[in-house]
Amino acid sequence: MNGDLVPAERVLDGELVAEPSTLARRLESGWRRARAVPPALKSRQALRLAVKDALGWFVRSPGRFLGGVVRGGVVAARAWRRWVRVRDYREAAEQSEKLADKFVEIRALTLFRWKVTGAVFGGGAAVLMVLHLLYGSVVLWSAVGAASVALAVTGRRKDGSPGRKAVLAGPRTLTWTMDSQVLVDAFRDAKLVGKDETLRLVERAARVGDGWAVTVDLPATRKAADVIKNRDALASALAVDEVQLIVERVRGRGGHAGRVFLWVADEDPYSGPPLRTPLLDVEQWDAWRPVPFGRDARNRRIDLPLVWTSLLVGAIPRQGKTFATRLAVAGLVLDPYTRLYVFDGKGGKDWEAAEQIAHRYVCGDGNEHAYAVRDHLVELVAEVQTRYARMATLDDEVCPESKITPAISRDADLGMPVTAVVIDEVQVFLENPTREQVGGKKTTLGAYVADLLTYLVRKGPAAGVVVVLATQRPDSNTIPSRLRAVLGSRFALRVMDWRDSNIVLGEQMNTRGYDASTLLPSHKGVGILRPDGETDAGADTVAMTVRTYYMPNAEWRVICGRGRALREAARTLAGHAVGDDAPRPVDAVSVVKALVSGTADGWVSELPEPLAAVVDHLGEELDERGFVPTAELVEALEVDTVRFAREMGELGCKPLRQYVPDGESTRRVRGYLTADIRAAVERVAIDEIGSQDRDQA
């Protein structure tokens, strides 16, 4: 992390080993499957653990023996007291309601048992005295040893035996690290296992970081997902705060649905001074590398991948939403080959430092700012279309798939850099109620922006476009479900209730144990991350609680200043950063058509016939030509003239007569204006978008 980022090839280290023979493999397999062979002798790891457990048992055995003697003495004293008081006879008389009639018998039996006790103790003492005189002190030591062993056996811990637990239990915190029975009792108290069920220790408790870790297998049919869901109940049974308890399912190789990893911190892992971002010590970053985002409870660094995905950050005000968003973008800022579209709906100075490097920059919540955002998004949608068209012309060595590569993103001649769209307070633009005319039909500006963002999130990643949205109103009315459902990575800081948490993280996430409304107000910058990609916590991790790095405005300005210097050296500054704010001219028809037919997963339907066939036939000429004869379309599409005219008329395209060149003269023919065809495409798009909104509602 220190110093300049220097590209390097992968270095592989290995050693050539001889493949074992077939006989050796069979012997090894038979040895591991043999029931007569103890489990500790079937592998080096098992033997190592067995030796460690044996040494631990040997070290702890004196204390355990002494504890067993004490417990045995208590059990023996209670049993003698119950016997000498004739408790069994007394209870039988009470149940038969004849206690008064049996009083004399009970009294006589009590006196008799006291006499027996005195006789036994007296006779035993006399025998010991005689033997001591005959054989010396060895008799006394032998008697004490035999009595101690008997008491230790009597007082050994055993499930279901009476008198094995103290009436007043002592502190429970982390006692399970020395006594696994406490952990089993905690699972039973939390109703995670039954009274007759137990746990199987996979890895014994050990120190990991600033806490204790253990891996256990649940009983058959019990699921790790249920333990994660009821983490609060287990934390209560272990007498620790729920923020100190981390419960994870062990997945992949060596894991299964009933294997659970537990980690209990010594203290609140999210308290303490703010964490400084490592990017301050880096001169340059690669956008294709995950960005350092924060640390989890076990102090593991969590890196957030951004290329190939998108990010939604949601929280109530003053919980660190903007800081988290800037952290995600900071790595892209330090890559001189990355292009940034920064739109700040708040209108403050949080993103002011990014203005010096942004290709497009908008700051404010007025209508003029919303229109500017719309125009820039339309420009970017058109660019995504052209990128796909250009990638289709590249050979397989340069572009193996219809996806951008690091080499393509850094090739200035191709002009397809990684492009990040960052919108803070996105609800300002999505809720804009201004009515505007699009394709002959009225819609709202906010709905149009939502459609453009949805297209970029769906089709942009493969073309190198990353969308990062942040909002303090994570509700279904603010962010349409069609947009929210396709956002890859999610990060939820503290929100008001579980519904808002599910809107950010995804449906039913609270039932899986991930609820951002339970985060403490004092935990600034702490949130639940649901990554779309592999992190240091594991590729199969569903979600995790992360404490983000702290990067105030002063350090953010340093990062942005460094990003501008890198872009000046690489000669990649463009757009707003060099005073060019005018968006490139874009064909709005092709953009709207892309919103209709540019997806492959059924979000919207294709253009109806024969309009789709006409658009495919004309291609780029739809924007270049002003008039197309009916005869040309009928001949190219091989359709009936009368039926074609009727269907085009139903779509709003009325034929008319115009003069067209015919050699050295002109002639008047029947045909269609391409402007009418483009308007029909826009009308279909708006109708489809409106029907999607009604379906979502």
The pLDDT of residue 40: 64
Section 307-326 average pLDDT: 88
E strand residue ranges, 266-389: 291-296, 301-304, 311-314, 338-344, 360-363
Q: Which residues contact 542 (CB under 8 A, 6 or more apart)?
A: 512, 514, 530
Domain ranges in the chain with CATH number 3.40.50.300? 278-576
How many C-beta neighbours within 10 Å does residue 365 have? 15
Asked if the model's pLDDT at residue 81 lies above 90, the reply is no
Asked if the model's pLDDT at residue 166 lies above 60, the reply is no
The pLDDT of residue 624: 67
Asked if the model's pLDDT at residue 160 lies above 60, the reply is no
Asked if the model's pLDDT at residue 356 lies above 70, the reply is yes
Q: Which two tokens stand for residue 139?
A: 């008799």
Section 116-135 average pLDDT: 86
Distance of CA 409 to the CA centre of its chain: 28
Rounded distance between C-alpha atoms, residue 423 and residue 449, angstroms: 12
Q: How many residues does the chain have?
A: 697
What is the overall mean pLDDT for the chain?
A: 79
pLDDT-wise least confident of 173-182, 379-388, 523-532: 173-182
Asked if the model's pLDDT at residue 478 lies above 90, the reply is no
Residue 356 gets which letter from DSSP? G
Residue 607 — very low, low, confident or very high, per pLDDT cuts 50/70/90? low
pTM given for the model? 0.61
pLDDT-wise least confident of 220-234, 286-300, 319-333, 621-635: 621-635
Q: What percent of the chain has pLDDT over 70?
A: 79
The pLDDT of residue 308: 85
The pLDDT of residue 622: 73
Beta bridge partners of 342: 361, 422
Q: Which two tokens stand for residue 11?
A: 């270095």
Residue 256 — very low, low, confident or very high, per pLDDT cuts 50/70/90? confident
Rounded distance between C-alpha atoms, residue 583 and residue 383, angstroms: 11
Q: Closest Cα partner for 544 from 528, 560, 531? A: 528
Rounded distance between C-alpha atoms, residue 371 and residue 471, angstroms: 19
Tens of pLDDT, residues 263-299: 888 888 888 788 889 999 989 999 999 999 999 888 8
Tens of pLDDT, residues 627-648: 888 888 888 888 888 888 888 8
Select from 1.10.287, 3.30.980, 1.10.150, 1.10.30 the CATH code of 175-265.
Answer: 3.30.980
The pLDDT of residue 14: 55
- Tell me if 214 sits within 8 A of 230, measured CB to CB: no
How many C-beta neighbours within 10 Å does residue 404 have? 24
Give the chain's radius of gyration (CA, Å): 38
Section 188-213 average pLDDT: 83
Total H helices, total E strands in the chain: 22, 19
- Tell me if 527 sits within 8 A of 491, measured CB to CB: yes
Tens of pLDDT, residues 423-473: 999 989 988 888 876 555 567 888 888 888 988 998 889 899 999 999 887
Distance of CA 220 to the CA centre of its chain: 27
Asked if the model's pLDDT at residue 230 lies above 80, the reply is yes
> Measured at the alpha carbon of residue 251, what is the angle toward residues 250 and 257, in degrees to the nearest 5?
75
> Measured at the alpha carbon of residue 144, what is the angle toward residues 141 and 150, in degrees to the nearest 5?
140
Q: In 403-552, which ranges are continuous DSSP H helix?
A: 406-409, 427-430, 445-459, 481-484, 498-505
Which one is predicted more confidently, 9 or 23? Answer: 23
Asked if the model's pLDDT at residue 490 lies above 70, the reply is yes
Domain ranges in the chain with CATH number 3.30.980? 175-265
Residue whose token pair is 């690290």: 177
| CATH code, 278-576 | 3.40.50.300
E strand residue ranges, 189-331: 200-207, 211-217, 245-249, 259-265, 291-296, 301-304, 311-314
The pLDDT of residue 24: 67
The pLDDT of residue 605: 41
- Secondary structure of residue 314 in the 3-state scheme: strand
